[in-house]
Structure 1
Amino acid sequence: MSTPEAQGPDADRDSASASDLIGAALGGAARRAGLDPAGDANTQTVVWSAIGGWRGVLESVLPSLAFVVLFTLRPDPLILSLGVSVGLAAVFTVVRLVQKSPPAAALGGLIAAGAAAGLALWTGRGADNFVPGLITNAVYGTVFLVAALVGWSLIGIAAGFLMGDATGWRADKRKRRAFTWLGIAWAVLFFARLAVQLPLYLTDQVTALGTLKLIMGLPLFAPLIAVTWLVVRALYPRESPKDPASRS
């Protein structure tokens, strides 16, 4: 039987390998979204790029807004508000495909809208159109919180990959503390959405639920993106992103 001491280095290597894989995935996604701290973009440009510009705003807002408005004005038949919502998501996906732009965001929105609409039609409850969003917030909040508390903040993993720091940030108390709190901040965002929206779902208040989902979407996401960006840039000054002094 191997001793804990013998298992320690292997466990560290396994953690580092997993971190590399996760960092590559998160960092790649961040870079595609325009969130590369090594770049020269200003905060406003970065936030606007992260939410996808006007197209991203429309893709995020219009399907849900159409559902809320139509359901409020005419809850029956349910398929009307659901059909318009999914139809708008489909239009955005087709536009992206025609323009040969990356369709991932619109495809994700279309799949989510279709799954939510299918569930709502199956149960006959308009509130069930928001179940996937509630599940997403619960999962994301848990993952961000657990990762931060065990010392492997997802923000730190992604930033380490983007800045060529790998897992070096974990040996720097200042960086580790900052990334831990950033991870907790993101977890708080997801759990706050869940805490506000779940009671409305359970009491079948569809209009209020849809409205608060929109309010707690991009309006909260964008400022937290800005804060995250500014903290990472402060931890990794642009003039010398790999300066050994920044790791002391």
Structure 2
Amino acid sequence: MSDSSTGVHAPDPEPAPGAGDQRASDLLGAALGGAAKRAGLDPTQQASTGRVVWSAMGGWRGVLESVLPSLTFILTYTLVPGDTREKLIPALVVSVGIAAVFTIVRLVQKSPPSAAIGGLVAAGVAAGLALITGNPSDNFIPGFITNAIYGSALLISALVGWPIIGLAVGFLVGEGTRWRMDRRKRRAFFWLTIAWASLFAARLAVQFPIYLSSLDESQRDSAVALLGTLKLAMGIPLFAPLLAVTWLVVRALYPPAPK
């Protein structure tokens, strides 16, 4: 089946999977769907698109947890005088310190700490790597790895006919993998998954060449500032609109039952 506007072929419906594939897809779908549900992405519930997107980002707290560690790293590194190491250490201390504060606050308030803990671990690993190498741009390497893994997983899942978005939605709506027998749903989940894979690929395509330029010490400071700015610009500002589109498509495929 081809898309007349792009000429790219989306896969047609396939036969029902075997028992082994079914069990694997059910487990993966349950894991993905459970995570989506905890984030407030439940298409069976009545909710506005804006409210769903805001909830999925974690509200103001989630936005701050996502933005502040990177923002303070960039600002501190840029504003502190001295050579690379004299600037790097305070920038990393401030960045990891803020991530630690968010984690402690969540633990004290007994709210779900998973996002904050994940951010703290990522900040700690990135800081350790940058300290070992002495290159502040290495602070961004864990993000490159994460984008590569997510993008590859999404792309492969779509190309083999098991788009990750479809698995998650199938679990959320109680449909399992029966959506694979519906051409309309199958095509929608294929393209949504490709769109998410493209987001992660775009981050790598734009940011990684700048990282490579930072290996030249004469360009290091400007590369660090640009990398940090792009990380923020290609984070929530791209994530939120794509999440909204995904939500709207899923709601069109599974309209909520009238009250």
Structure 1 length as normaliser, TM-score? Answer: 0.91
- Where do residues 52-67 of structure 1 align in structure 2 (5 Å cutoff)? 52-67=58-73
Q: Distance in 2 between matches of 1:61 and 1:237?
A: 34
Cα displacement (A) at 1:15:
1.2
The residue number in structure 2 matching 1:215 is 233
Provide, for residues 140-180 of structure 1, a one-character-per-residue CA deviation record: whole Å limited to 9, x for no partner: 10000010111100000000000011000000000000000
Q: Distance in 2 between matches of 1:11 and 1:175?
A: 17
**3-state SS in 2 of match to 1:152:** coil
The residue number in structure 2 matching 1:3 is none
Q: Distance in 2 between matches of 1:132 and 1:76?
A: 20
For residue 104 of structure 2, the aligned residue among 94, 102, 108 is 94
The residue number in structure 1 matching 2:22 is 16
The residue number in structure 1 matching 2:11 is none
Q: Which amino acid aligns with 1:201?
A: Y
Q: In structure 1, list runs of 5 or more residues that go unmatched.
A: 1-8, 241-248
Q: Distance in 2 between matches of 1:157 and 1:177?
A: 13
Q: Distance in 2 between matches of 1:119 and 1:87?
A: 16
Provide, for residues 77-107 of structure 1, a one-character-per-residue CA deviation record: whole Å limited to 9, x for no partner: 2110001000000000000001000000000
Q: Distance in 2 between matches of 1:72 and 1:173?
A: 52
- Where do residues 25-174 of structure 1 align in structure 2 (5 Å cutoff)? 25-74=31-80, 75-77=84-86, 78-174=88-184
Q: Which amino acid aligns with 1:140?
A: Y
Aligned-residue RMSD, C-alpha: 1.3
The residue number in structure 1 matching 2:7 is none
Q: Which amino acid aligns with 2:151?
A: G
Provide, for residues 184-213 of structure 1, a one-character-per-residue CA deviation record: whole Å limited to 9, x for no partner: 000000000000000111111111001000
Q: Distance in 1 between matches of 2:111 and 2:257?
A: 33
Q: In structure 2, list runs of 5 or more residues that go unmatched.
A: 1-14, 215-222
Q: Which amino acid aligns with 2:153?
A: V
Cα displacement (A) at 1:233:
0.7
Cα displacement (A) at 1:10:
11
Q: Tell me if structure 1 keeps the 8 A contact 2:85–2:134.
A: no
For residue 177 of structure 1, the aligned residue among 169, 178, 187 is 187
**3-state SS in 2 of match to 1:65:** helix
Q: Which amino acid aligns with 1:88?
A: I
Q: Distance in 2 between matches of 1:97 and 1:71?
A: 29
Q: How many residues align?
A: 232
The residue number in structure 1 matching 2:220 is none
**3-state SS in 2 of match to 1:239:** coil
Q: Distance in 2 between matches of 1:98 and 1:188?
A: 38
Cα displacement (A) at 1:14:
1.2
Cα displacement (A) at 1:119:
0.2
Q: Distance in 2 between matches of 1:201 and 1:156?
A: 34
**3-state SS in 1 of match to 2:18:** helix
Cα displacement (A) at 1:11:
6.6
Runs of 4+ in 1 over 6 A off after TM superposition: none
